[in-house]
């Protein structure tokens, strides 16, 4: 017997690269190219270092209350965590404790199977249809729960509320998690937040990493029924009661309070996305309809995805490439500033027009 025999073995999730070089065009991890709102910057610049000698508020009252007010829900319906990876991990551990398989799409956020394996949760991957949409009827089977991102990643495809409602109606007896990491780029009223009063088994997860330009601060939240949030808090407080640090709590609250800046940034990214899509299509790219801050793009045959990925990287342009399954002909390209996307288009013209 050796200590290693007792080690819990997992195949970890591999996040996108975070190169240090500031001169690269970094379009590989769906970060926001614009800075956090001025209010958040002010909080950070004026932060009282001395206050860090104290523990943060374990109830994260300020940020949870700001989010509750913003979304018109009660304080006890809001759970916050260190990025959605933390919130989702806690949700898996809390809500997916049954014996039946948890269902999620075959092409989706590749962290889901990792949490399932870590927590010994059986799971089943349900194939997306030919146009990469979820078929709600496929989720009409006995399960231990359901999770999917809406819009989905890495495809960028949005499922309308009626389809989400169908999935909820077919799964009233298990938890259904809708990971809305990219929902702010999907237009007004795209979220299923309005369905919350009807479904006490629905959990909606949101992040500050994309639309709020705060990936480095690691802030995300979930909204669900009070009972569901209570269950998640019990799990959270059974392994770490001070998850959110004071700096992020203050910066995150300032972000929620500046709605105009947030809306303006989101609009700029959506405009750039539409323009970039049109221009890349002119060069022969096939681009899935995106409701996110990235596009899933199939390059022309002359230089397919894997090769274009390598060539771009040599030029200091970073995309994300997934060699698995149906993702293999595509590149996932985060939408940067107009200037960055113009440089990407210039590079594409060099490759495909010569």
Which residues form the interface with ligand PMP (CB under 6 A)?
30, 83-85, 109, 149, 153, 179, 181, 207, 209, 215, 220
Q: Taking a C-beta distance cutoff of 8 angstroms, is the pair 314, 274 a contact? A: no
Residue ranges of alpha helices (H) inside 154-258 are 161-170, 226-236, 246-257
| Maximum Cα–Cα distance across the chain | 63
Quote the least distance from Cβ 7 to ligand PMP, whole Å: 26
Query: Toward ligand PMP, which CB reaches closer, 71 or 218?
Result: 218
Query: Toward ligand PMP, which CB reaches closer, 36 or 83?
Result: 83
Query: Toward ligand PMP, which CB reaches closer, 207 or 272?
Result: 207
Of the candidates 13, 21, 28, the one whose C-alpha atom is nearest the C-alpha of residue 215 is: 28
Query: Toward ligand PMP, which CB reaches closer, 207 or 290?
Result: 207
Quote the least distance from Cβ 238 to ligand PMP, whole Å: 21
**What burial class does residue 49 get, using C-beta atoms within 10 Å of its C-beta: 0-12 exposed, 13-18 middle, 19+ buried?**
exposed
Quote the least distance from Cβ 263 to ligand PMP, whole Å: 20
Alpha carbon distance 322, 270 (integer Å): 24
Strands 317-318 and 25-26: parallel
- For tokens 């049954």, the residue is 98
Closest CB to ligand PMP: residue number: 83
Query: Toward ligand PMP, which CB reaches closer, 132 or 348?
Result: 132
Quote the least distance from Cβ 85 to ligand PMP, whole Å: 4
Give the pair of three-digit tokens for residue 105.
């799409």
Q: Taking a C-beta distance cutoff of 8 angstroms, is the pair 232, 198 a contact? A: no
Query: Toward ligand PMP, which CB reaches closer, 221 or 348?
Result: 221
Query: Toward ligand PMP, which CB reaches closer, 191 or 348?
Result: 191
**Which three-class secondary structure state does DSSP give residue 26?**
strand
Query: Toward ligand PMP, which CB reaches closer, 71 or 332?
Result: 332
**What burial class does residue 254 get, using C-beta atoms within 10 Å of its C-beta: 0-12 exposed, 13-18 middle, 19+ buried?**
buried
Quote the least distance from Cβ 131 to ligand PMP, whole Å: 19
- For tokens 């002119």, the residue is 282
Q: In what order do the strands lie in the sheet with 294-298?
A: 286-287, 294-298, 331-334, 320-321
Alpha carbon distance 159, 151 (integer Å): 7
Quote the least distance from Cβ 114 to ligand PMP, whole Å: 12
Query: Toward ligand PMP, which CB reaches closer, 325 or 349?
Result: 325
Residue ranges of alpha helices (H) inside 6-154 are 38-45, 61-71, 83-95, 112-118
Q: In what order do the strands lie in the sheet with 145-149?
A: 78-81, 220-223, 202-207, 176-179, 145-149, 102-105, 123-126
Quote the least distance from Cβ 193 to ligand PMP, whole Å: 17
Quote the least distance from Cβ 110 to ligand PMP, whole Å: 9
Quote the least distance from Cβ 270 to ligand PMP, whole Å: 17
């Amino acid at each position: 017997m050796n200590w290693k025999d007792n080690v819990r073995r997992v195949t970890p999730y591999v996040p996108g690269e975070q190169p240090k070089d500031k001169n690269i065009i970094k379009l590989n991890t769906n970060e926001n190219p614009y800075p956090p709102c001025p209010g958040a910057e002010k909080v950070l610049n004026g932060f009282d270092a001395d206050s860090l000698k104290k523990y943060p508020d374990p109830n994260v009252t300020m940020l949870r209350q700001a989010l509750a007010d913003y979304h018109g829900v009660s304080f006890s319906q809001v759970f916050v965590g260190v990025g959605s990876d933390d919130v989702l991990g806690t949700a898996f551990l809390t809500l997916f404790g049954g014996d039946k398989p948890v269902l999620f799409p075959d092409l989706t956020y590749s962290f889901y199977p990792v949490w399932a394996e870590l927590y010994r949760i059986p799971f089943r991957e349900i194939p997306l249809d030919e146009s990469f949409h979820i078929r709600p009827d496929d989720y009409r089977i006995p399960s231990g729960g359901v999770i999917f991102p809406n819009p989905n990643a890495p495809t960028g495809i949005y499922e309308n509320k009626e389809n989400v409602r169908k999935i909820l109606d077919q799964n009233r007896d298990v938890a259904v998690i809708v990971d809305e990491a990219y929902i702010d780029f999907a237009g007004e009223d795209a979220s299923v937040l309005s369905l919350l009063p009807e479904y006490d088994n629905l959990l909606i997860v949101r992040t500050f990493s994309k639309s709020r330009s705060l990936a480095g601060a690691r802030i995300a939240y979930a909204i669900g029924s009070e009972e569901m949030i209570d269950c998640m808090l019990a799990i959270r407080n059974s392994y770490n009661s001070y998850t959110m640090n004071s700096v992020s709590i203050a910066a995150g609250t300032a972000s929620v309070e500046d709605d105009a800046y947030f809306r303006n940034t989101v609009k700029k990214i959506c405009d750039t996305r539409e323009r970039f899509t049109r221009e890349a299509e002119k060069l022969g790219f096939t681009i899935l309809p995106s409701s996110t801050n990235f596009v899933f793009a199939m390059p022309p045959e002359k230089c397919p995805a894997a090769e274009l990925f390598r060539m771009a990287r040599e030029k200091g342009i970073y995309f994300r490439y997934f060699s698995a399954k149906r993702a293999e002909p595509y590149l996932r390209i985060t939408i940067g500033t107009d200037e960055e996307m113009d440089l990407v288009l210039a590079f594409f013209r060099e490759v495909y027009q010569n």
